[in-house]
Structure 1
Amino acid sequence: MAERGGERPPIPEALPFPVVDAHTHLDACGAKDAADVTAMVDRAASAGVTRVVTVADDLAAAQWAAQAATWDPRVFAAVAVHPTRTAAFTDADRAVVEELAHQPRVVAVGETGLDYYWDYSPPEAQQEAFRWHIDLAKRVGKPLMIHDRDAHEDIFRILAEEGSPEKVIFHCFSGDAAFASRCVARGYVLSFAGTVTFRNAHALRDALAVIPSYQLLVETDAPFLTPHPFRGRPNEPYCAAYTLAALAQFRGVPTETLAAEVTATAERVFDLPSVTAR
């Protein structure tokens, strides 16, 4: 949290229907133990964000996320090794991720994929690890949560070559309307973070318009990507409420309607129990 500038944004008025933060990093937000996790999800719940999926980017984070999901019933986990961490992805590492992926409160394999923006892992290593995570998701029967940065075509190619899992999520979707349409046609689910609210995010908002609500999720990717007008300040799961309200405005639908629709999508994709309005 200290790495982000300024204070946390104010907690907004609660959404009229509870939503799921489909991708956050509670540990990177500053949570260390069960008390921290409970306090963080309490803040989220006060804004109508009643469940969160905390996501790993390395082995230590994967082990922490799986444990954190046992500390509070509102928390679920996704486990994988981030593509920028795959330069040395050993068999022992894979065994740890696979064991965690079988745990009942781990609801997705992720985040995995390709990142050609940062020069931390060779593309070949990233692609090999991505293929392994695809296979793992299929073997454990859980969604594949994809990190895609400057790698649209290779992501699509590898998914086609390996065969997509039944459920595929593009976390923090970063494509345009044409790419979104291609994803929708393949049945992929697209998750939008605070980036869609940024002033220069015209292509993202165009993409949003072509996505059916049953293929749409909302996320924070906290502590990063805090929605406008709080960009650059520390993000937390409760800020998904700001993004959800913005998504509804961009789509021209009532906030309550979109909240109910994306919650139904999250429940289906992550196999979560259904909730009803407050």
Structure 2
Amino acid sequence: MSDVIPEAVLPHHAADADAAPRPVVGVSLKLYFGLAQTRAWLGEVATLAPVLARLPRPVDLFVLPSFPALADARELLSGTGIGYGAQDVHWAEHGAWTGEVSAGMLAETGARYVEVGHAERRRHFGETDETVAAKTRAATAAGLVPVICAGEHRAADPTAAAEETLTQVRAALAGAAPGSEVIVAYEPVWAIGAREPAPAGHVRAIAAAIRGALHDHDVRGRLIYGGTAGPGTYGELAGAVDGLFLGRLAHDPEGLRRVLEEISSR
């Protein structure tokens, strides 16, 4: 792993420590779209800029397309206030790492966010808590906001679910640069792609535990929920989380607009 720490940049939406965190909505496209379809979708998302501007309560929005579409995101989202980033990052800043992309390179593209530790990366690519911590360290050193994914694999009672989730969260936060901005995405694995989100009471219990972990670390953190999230989800979780992490629901920009307006109105 590289010891080189690139110059950090200030966050666009630094939160006042004494103020309530600003709501935030993220969208990961995974590998559902090709390049042309991603470009078309980004163009549609850009048209939501006026919606964001007139919301009664400001909401941050960011999107995570595949690596080849970052240039399109930079072009099409310029001036909209909509952030963008990547779905993965490598822990090293340079070296013989064939096929990998560094945090510094992402920052050069104008990316602001990067997803780390998603359950699919853990399952299919063998990522561990140590890997996620290293990627979080690299991301925050480069001034990126890591979107740290964490959640229990199987449906369990809140005590067991919190224990499994907190192990992941604490390991990742241990890698974060002091004072850095992070987002924790609570995504119970069993709820990803399910018919319904995890029960609101369950999410609230785990969210409270994650808040405690955030307070124990020198970071400025926000907490969002993902796992079959959509319109109506935030209404049941308001006060427990700071926003949502969306998947296929946001493939239709109209669904994304509905979520933004719902969150702003709470």
Q: Which TM class, normalised by the smaller chain length?
A: 0.5 to 0.7
1:164-179 aligned within 5 A: 166-171=180-185, 173-174=187-188, 176-179=203-206
8 Å contact kept, 1:114–1:127: no
TM-aligned CA distance change 1:149 to 1:116, over 3 Å: farther
Separation (CA, whole Å) in 1 of partners of 2:28 and 2:120 = 22
Paired position in structure 2 for 1:41: 45
Q: One-letter code of the match for 1:171?
A: A
- Relative distance call for 1:195 and 1:242 in structure 2 (3 A) is farther
Summarize the alignment of residues 16-27 of structure 1 with structure 2, pairs less than 5 Å apart: 21-25=25-29
Residues 34 and 149 from structure 1, CA distance in 2 versus in 1: closer, same or farther, beyond 3 angstroms? closer
- Higher RCO, 1 or 2 (CA under 8 Å, sep at least 6)? 1
5+ residue gaps, structure 2: 1-22, 54-59, 91-95, 153-163, 189-201, 215-219
Q: Return the match for 1:76 from 83, 91, 101.
A: 83
Instruction: Give the total of aligned pairs.
Output: 200
**TM-score for the superposition, normalised by structure 1:** 0.55
Q: Determine which of 79, 91, 96 is the counterpart of 2:97.
A: 91
Aligned partner of residue 76 in structure 2, secondary structure = coil
Q: Deviations over 1:78-119 (max 9, x none)?
A: 124289xxxxxx82344x2334322252101x2111417984
- Return closer, same or farther for 1:149/1:180 CA change in 2, 3 Å cut-off: closer
Match of 1:13? none
2:26/2:62 contact within 8 Å kept:
yes
Deviations 1:103-148 (A, max 9, x none): 252101x2111417984233xx333431221111221122111222
- Distance in 2, Cα, partners of 1:179 & 1:40: 34
Partner Cα distance (1:236, 1:82) in 2: 27
Which amino acid in structure 1 is aligned with residue 106 of structure 2?
A
RMSD over aligned Cα atoms:
4.0
Change (3 A) 1:29 1:141: same
CA distance in 2 between partners of 1:69 and 1:26 (Å): 18
Distance 1:76 1:26 in 2: 17
1:37–1:97 CA distance, 2 compared to 1 (3 A):
farther
User: Shift of the alpha carbon at 1:32?
Assistant: 1.7
Q: 1:68 to 1:241 in 2, by over 3 A?
A: closer
Question: How many percent identity over aligned positions?
Answer: 12
Query: 1:130 and 1:163 mapped to 2: Cα distance?
Result: 10
Residue 32 of structure 1 corresponds to which residue in structure 2? Answer: 36
Structure 1 distance, partners of 2:240, 2:167, is 22
Give the direction of change, closer, same or farther, for the CA distance of 1:114–1:152 in structure 2 (3 Å limit).
Answer: farther
Distance 1:137 1:149 in 2: 20
Q: TM-score w.r.t. structure 2 length?
A: 0.57
Gaps of 5+ in 1: 1-18, 84-89, 227-233, 249-254, 259-278
CA contact (8 A) 2:46 2:77 kept: no
AA aligned to 1:182 is: A
